[in-house]
Chain A
Amino acid sequence: MAIADIAVSPLPSHQPHGWRRWLFATNHKDIGSLYLWFSFSMFLTGGVLALCIRAELFHPGMRFFRPELFNQLTTLHGLIMVFGAIMPAFTGLANWMLPLMLGAPDMAFARMNNWSFWLLPPAMAMLLLSFFVPGGAAAGGWTLYAPLSVQMGMGMDLTIFAIHILGISSIMGSINIIVTIFNLRAPGMHMMKMPMFAWASLITAYLIIAVMPVLAGAVTMLLTDRHFGTHFFNAAGGGDPVLYQHVFWFFGHPEVYIMALPAFGIVSQVIPSFARKPLFGYTSMVYATSSIGVLSFMVWAHHMFVTGMPATAQLFFMYATMLIAVPTGVKVFNWVATMWEGSMSFETPMLFAIGFLLLFTIGGLSGVTLSVAAVDVQLHGSYYVVAHFHYVLVAGALFSLFAAIYYWFPKMTGKMYCEGLGKLHFWWSLLWFNVTFFPMHFLGLAGMPRRIPDYALQFTTFNQIASIGAFMFGLGQLIFLYNILHALRAGKPAEQQPWEGAQTLEWQIPTPAPYHSFTEAPELEVFENGVIVTMHGGKHG
């Protein structure tokens, strides 16, 4: 295979300029970039809210915020990070990379792609606007549990509408991903040979399509309970608040994997590239990812062990939850086996991938601890839970996103980021992440409840450690921002193939990726995990 084989199309390249390029964007790379920048800005917004929370918790007693405002901060931090930062970031990456990795000219429905992005900013604006309406933003936690969410002010209505719009956006994005993967793969890119990132995106997209409508249903019921006299969740009218929890977590648990599976996909691309070995156990990875997707629908009530479920149901959900550790364990061992005897080098993407592997495993183990119903009764609603899900969402999802950005940045922009700053960003994040969240395990074990603005004196020291860690972690993300901005402006030109071991299709095209790539599909011979053996043809516009 040779790069020179690819003829560059003689057609004039159509590339709109100015604001039209972005507002009317139909190019998957433009939309991907929009998604990534938007999610990064939401990451900073949610991060500022998190720092407000940590500032309040630096000392016991009421320091900066009224308790109602504190509750709004925790609620909006969760909603913004989940729906504004992590999910759009993964959709953005899928937009950018899937056509390149599969040999497709673009996403299947380009105009729908435009819509699915441009619904996000108004939805997030509504969510943020709710801080300034009478009664403030939603304050019942990101889960919006009834009966609190039935009682709150109009901030809750704004939140409900924002969730509707976000849901429509992510459903449209997912439909695009599924159709692209099924129908637009280049000849030779069989399903059981395509990159794990594509598999993970495919299963994630199915999860989104299956559960986002359920969330939409749940919040619609909240809305009718609030304004139209229904009593779905109002006990006084014959409804049941616990029912809300069932409907919510039927969405909520697959949602956890919506934020985890794409991370697994990214790591499955990065680790083989820097271990210079094919991914160990590709087929088992595909089946593990699928079975995690299926199992995620059967475990929702492990979030509800303290609602008075019968012991039989508790045991069912406990064992089903533990069962998820099996396919997840398969993946972890496969990644370790991929590195085993590999010829490894430790550039920034690999560092973040290994950081992911270590810390996500810690988060997974605390998850298994929480799955034990008898233990969960003690730990439910405590900081142990906060520690657990930040290990899987920050060190899991977020670290994998950093790995992905550093990994694909040269291909996206044609520029090389500063490796030294990247490594500093990694080690800084690794250190302060652990300083922030590791003490929370002990706070939770000692009985500190989550979502409170004040706490008992004996928790002071560990809260101070966590607050210092959080501010330093937040500061470190500016290194990342600087690195990206600096590289965009004055970065060294990236090579066609910046990573020696990267062999998937996106590395076979020029750097930076042409605005219209694979306008004519290539003929491929593919080994597992999207590794290209030979490529013929394929034109870029």
Chain B
Amino acid sequence: MIRSPMASANQRLLGKLLLLVLLMFVMAWGMIPLYRVICQVSGLNQVVSADTLAPATAATPPGRPIRLQLDAMVQAGLPWRVSPMADSVLGRTGEFIQLQYSLTNNSNQRVVGQAIPRYLPAEAAAYVKKLECFCFSQQVFQPGETRRFPVVLVIDRALPVHISRITLAYTVFDVPGQGG
């Protein structure tokens, strides 16, 4: 069969349009890596990001004494007891500070809890860098179990000078559906 010039023009345009369809379908899948790259480059949507101390330069102030007030509480109605091993600790900015917390499950059931830290003044939160903390993950306690947890942190030397006292307060919440 001999194609009329019109029919072959139609076929050519059809081919181009089908190519466009294919390209757009590929583009839909291409949006996935593109989205990841954009989020990474722009720092958007990063749930976990590497944390660093401000780089030490000549302008960085020397270490200075800081008093850490320690506090802890429990969501109302939960069978937990949480207490710091000391009411307050004297440390220096730029140096490791180690604290201890004691957690007890007063119930006769297995419980799962999650501690959330809070800082006063809130401004200080950005300068307290924790290396080790029981708040990093959910904690499982057997009935009547008591455990001590170390908390290791560094306070950035870039801490504004008007802050000389930081309160670190933990609240423990239960994780529903995870208990015994």
Contacts and interface: CB of A to CB of B under 8 A. Distances in A.
Interface string B15-42: 0011011101101110110010000001
A240 B13 contact: no
Interface in B67-91: none
A209 B13 contact: no
Nearest to B44: A310
Given A179-B10, A179-B17, A209-B17, A214 B35 contact: no
Contacts, number: 66
A171 interface: yes
A471 to B, nearest CB: 40
Interface in A204-242: 209-218, 221, 232, 240, 242
Given A209-B21, A210-B20, A213-B28, A240 B35 contact: yes
Contact of A175 (B18, B22, B31): B18
A232 to B, nearest CB: 6
Given A209-B21, A216-B28, A217-B27, 15 more contacts: A171-B21, A174-B17, A178-B13, A183-B9, A183-B13, A184-B6, A209-B24, A210-B24, A211-B24, A213-B22, A214-B25, A214-B28, A216-B25, A243-B32, A250-B28
17 contacts: A108-B10, A175-B18, A182-B13, A209-B17, A209-B21, A213-B21, A214-B31, A215-B28, A217-B25, A217-B27, A217-B29, A217-B31, A221-B29, A243-B32, A243-B35, A247-B31, A250-B28
B28 A247 contact: yes
A212 B27 CA distance: 12
Contacts of A115: none
Given A214-B25, A218-B28, A247-B31, A178 B17 contact: yes
Interface string B113-139: 000000000000000000000000000
Contacts of B27: 213-214, 217
A236 to B, nearest CB: 12
Interface size class of A (residues with CB under 8 A): 20 to 34
A179 B13 CA distance: 7
B47 to A, nearest CB: 9
A210 B44 CA distance: 28
Interface in A419-459: none
A175 B17 CA distance: 7
B25 A213 contact: yes
Contacts of B175: none
Interface string A294-326: 000000000000000010000000000000000
Contacts of A182: 13
B56 interface: no
Q: Which of A209, A217, A240, A242 counts the most B-chain CB atoms under 10 A from its CB?
A: A217
B148 to A, nearest CB: 32
Contacts of A209: 17, 20-21, 24
Contacts of A250: 28, 31
A246 interface: yes
A212 B17 CA distance: 13
A109 interface: yes
Interface of A: 108-109, 171, 174-175, 178-179, 182-184, 209-218, 221, 232, 240, 242-243, 246-247, 250, 310
B20 A246 contact: no
Main SS of chain A's interface residues? helix
Contacts of B49: none
Contacts of A310: 42, 44
Number of contact residues on B: which range applies?
20 to 34
Given A175-B17, A179-B10, A242 B45 contact: yes
The residue in B10, B13, B21 that gathers the most chain A C-beta atoms within 10 A of its C-beta is B21
- Return the 10 tightest CB-CB contacts between A and B, nearest first: A217-B28, A213-B25, A213-B24, A214-B28, A175-B17, A108-B10, A179-B13, A179-B10, A213-B21, A243-B35
Interface of B: 6, 9-10, 13-14, 17-18, 20-22, 24-25, 27-29, 31-32, 35, 42, 44-45
A230 B6 CA distance: 46
A171 B24 CA distance: 12
Contacts of B14: 109, 175, 179
Contacts of B13: 178-179, 182-183
Contacts of A171: 21
Contacts of B18: 175
A215 B24 CA distance: 10
Contacts of B20: 209-210
Contacts of B42: 310
A215 B45 CA distance: 24
B97 to A, nearest CB: 34
A349 to B, nearest CB: 32
Nearest to B20: A209
Contacts of B25: 213-214, 216-217
Nearest to A210: B24
Contacts of A218: 28
Contacts of B10: 108-109, 179, 183
Contacts of A240: 35, 45
A209 B18 CA distance: 9
A310 to B, nearest CB: 6
A255 B6 CA distance: 31
Contact of A232 (B6, B24, B32, B44): B32
Contacts of A247: 28, 31
A179 B12 CA distance: 10
Contacts of A215: 28
Contacts of B21: 171, 209, 212-213
Contacts of A232: 32
A211 B20 CA distance: 10
A6 B80 CA distance: 95
Contacts of B22: 213
A147 to B, nearest CB: 16
Contacts of A184: 6
A129 B144 CA distance: 55
A243 B10 CA distance: 38
A246 B29 CA distance: 12
A183 B22 CA distance: 22
Contacts of B44: 310
Nearest to A171: B21
Contacts of A213: 21-22, 24-25, 27-28
A384 B2 CA distance: 59
Contacts of A210: 20, 24
A209 B28 CA distance: 13
B79 to A, nearest CB: 29
A243 B38 CA distance: 12
